[in-house]
Amino acid sequence: MMSLIVGCVLGAAIATLAARLLIKRALAKVRVAERRAQGAEKLAELGAMTSGLAHEIKNPLSTIGLNAQLLGEGVDELEIDADEKGRLQRRIGALRREVERLRGILSDFLEYAGELRLDLTNANVNEAVGELVDFFQPQAEQNRVRLRADLASEALLATIDVKHVKQALLNLMLNAVQAMAQSPEGKPRELIVRTRRVREADRTESIAIHVIDTGPGITPEARERLFKPYFTTKAGGTGLGLATTRRLIEAHHGRLDVHSEVGQGTDFTVFLPVAGPNATAAKA
């Protein structure tokens, strides 16, 4: 009888200890969740503040740009020494260029940090890519780049925001043309946009969109930081183009990969789910 009582007491003590341990763990999880929620709220507030600040800067910047333009027109009409007029025109030109550079930085920042809303529709990726290639053809020719589309023979259907997918691909095509401008004279400049249906390692199917260039390639060190905000290898670049591109693709439950060999060229590949995510679920 005594052993039974002792057993019951020990059992109750162990049960109490286990319950306390479970409660302690549950409380710890609650505290971690609260800290994460507070951190997310602070990040959201910071994002709203920085976006608001960028908008506030854009307005006076536009005023400065307009006044610089009017000032330049006024200097053109002045009857002064030609050397003096040229010096004033160069200074005003530098001011206008800096205004445009700052405007570009702000636009890229707002595009990267702003709220992303997808307007999802069922679309044929081949049609979207074909339209983009036709649109970009004059710019490619202007930069002495041979642009060609290599589209899959089958329809590649996905639920996507066509405008945002085109924007992401356009960023990659612009990067490719700028990279090939650094190629040695005489080296072929070719830009290929290819679409294919592929099977992933987990045996699911995806739509692959390749943007392939014959530029100088990307070093392994640069590839490590390629998608980080504000990292750029281009003079005058903001370093937000590729970060924005990846954000747009990941919003479609896709991914952006890069394969490059120094001296050979680069292949940026966008992977999108076949038929895309359910439009209603993705919007939610």
- Residue ranges of domains in the chain: 1-115, 121-283
Quick one: CA dihedral 91, 92, 97, 103, positive or negative? positive
User: 3-class DSSP state for residue 224?
Assistant: helix
Q: DSSP letter string over 232-260?
A: -SSTT--S-HHHHHHHHHHTTT-EEEEEE
66-121 residue pLDDT tens: 888 888 888 888 888 888 888 888 988 888 888 887 777 777 666 666 667 888 99
Q: What is the mean pLDDT of residues 150-164?
A: 92
- Is the domain spanning 121-283 CATH 3.30.565.10? The answer is yes
Which of 57-71, 109-123, 141-155 is modeled with the greatest confidence? Answer: 141-155
Distance CA 205, CA 158 (A): 11
Contact 146, 190 (CB under 8 A): yes
